[in-house]
Structure 1
Amino acid sequence: MDDESLSQWAERRDRRLRPVGQLKAVIVGHENRPSHLHPDLPRLLLRWDGYQWTPEGYAENYASAQRFLHGISGDGVVQGAPPPVRKKSVGRHRKPA
Structure 2
Amino acid sequence: MGKPFDMELFLAGVLTGSHATRQRHLRQAKIIQAEIAARWQRETPRAWQRKHLAWFLEHHLSQRSEATRYYYLLTVRLLARRLQTSWVFNLYL
Q: Which has the higher contact order (CA 8 A, sep 6+)?
A: 2
Larger-Rg structure: 1
Bigger fraction of residues in strand? 1
TM-score normalized with structure 1 length? 0.27
Bigger fraction of residues in helix? 2
